[in-house]
């Protein structure tokens, strides 16, 4: 299995920390988010990784050079403009290849999710993608049926709802920014360069199984705001 780290964003919610550095290099207890995640990938023997970059991309390149790519194969997919999550994966496809499943992980997520268990679930489900999800409070949720197949998406704050298939929706679960995708997903990607991975999933689930992999919400942290960093400093060991 290969890995991809989504690290192109500007990290606007983390300003002023990201005024002069990319979100991926924001530190917690003196360790950058990117280093935390790379070391977790290595822990699970994922040693072939692509990282997409855009905002202050040269700093990420310099960081990896300084650390000699942590002794593994790391390639950068450089975006001239932000391509969104789906577009970023599409561009990185030529580096990722079409032979192995890909673990895709947001750089600003810290979790104790067992990648091996997620991979086993993905293999057993025979779906095109397996999305890590958990029951926690938020505004945006994926919608799944009783078999935990993706059926739609909703934003409870704006009341927006996108239903891909009316298939006995039973579960409203928050996405955790971690997923395994099969290479077949590239066949469904649109011709556009910029598009959301969520929108892609909502299209593809009409034809393929996209599965919910439920994990414990207490094992997951979104490093989206400065107060999140302070909480993690006090409560999380990594």
Residues 112-122, mean pLDDT to the nearest whole number: 97
* Tally of residues, the chain: 238
At residue 214, the pLDDT reads 96
Give CA–CA dist 217/111, Å, rounded: 9
Q: What is the helix (H) or strand (E) element at residue 103, kind and residue range?
A: strand 102-106
For 25-36, write each residue's pLDDT tens digit: 999 999 999 999
Whether this model's pTM surpasses 0.85: yes
Peptide bond into 16 cis (omega under 30): yes
Q: Which two tokens stand for residue 12?
A: 């606007």
Residues spanned by the domain of 13: 2-230
Q: What is the CA radius of gyration of the chain?
A: 17
Evaluate whether residue 59 is within a structural domain.
yes
Evaluate whether residue 96 is within a structural domain.
yes
Give CA–CA dist 138/141, Å, rounded: 8
pLDDT over 90 percentage in the chain: 86
Evaluate whether residue 238 is within a structural domain.
no
Evaluate whether residue 112 is within a structural domain.
yes
How remote is the C-alpha of 130 from its chain's centroid? 11
Evaluate whether residue 237 is within a structural domain.
no
Give CA–CA dist 4/106, Å, rounded: 9
Neighbours of 168 (CB within 10 A): 11
Backbone φ, ψ for residue 157 (5° rounding) = -75, -45
Residues 50-59, mean pLDDT to the nearest whole number: 97
Evaluate whether residue 236 is within a structural domain.
no
Evaluate whether residue 235 is within a structural domain.
no
Q: Judge whether residue 237 has pLDDT over 90.
A: no
Evaluate whether residue 91 is within a structural domain.
yes
CA distances from 27 to 11, 77, 115, 152, 238 (A): 13, 22, 23, 35, 13
Mean pLDDT of the chain: 95
DSSP per-residue codes, 149-194 = BEEEEEETTTTEEEES--S-EEEEEEEEEEEEE-GGGGGG--S-SS
Look up the CATH number of the domain holding residue 48. 3.90.550.10
Least confident of 8-17, 121-130, 165-174: 165-174
At residue 168, the pLDDT reads 80
């Amino acid at each position: 299995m290969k890995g991809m780290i989504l690290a192109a964003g500007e990290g606007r919610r983390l300003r002023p920390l990201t005024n002069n550095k990319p979100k991926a290099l924001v530190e917690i207890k003196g360790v950058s988010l990117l280093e935390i995640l790379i070391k977790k990938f290595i822990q699970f023997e994922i040693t072939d990784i692509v990282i997409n970059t855009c905002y202050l991309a040269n700093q990420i390149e310099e960081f990896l050079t300084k650390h000699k790519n942590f002794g593994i194969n790391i390639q950068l997919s450089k975006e001239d403009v932000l391509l969104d999550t789906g577009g970023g994966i599409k561009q990185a496809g030529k580096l990722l290849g079409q032979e192995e499943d890909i673990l895709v992980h947001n750089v600003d997520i810290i979790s104790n999710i067992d990648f091996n268990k997620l991979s086993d679930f993905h293999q057993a489900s025979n779906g095109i993608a397996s999305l890590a999800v958990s029951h926690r409070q938020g505004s945006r949720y994926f919608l799944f049926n009783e078999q935990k197949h993706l059926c739609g998406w909703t934003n409870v704050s704006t009341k927006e709802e996108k239903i891909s298939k009316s298939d006995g929706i039973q579960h409203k679960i928050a996405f955790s920014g971690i997923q395994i995708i099969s290479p077949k997903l590239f066949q469904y990607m649109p011709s556009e360069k910029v598009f959301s991975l969520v929108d892609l999933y909502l299209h593809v689930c009409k034809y393929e199984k996209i599965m919910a992999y439920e994990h414990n919400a207490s094992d997951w942290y979104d490093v989206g705001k400065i107060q999140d960093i302070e909480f993690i400093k006090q409560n999380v060991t990594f």
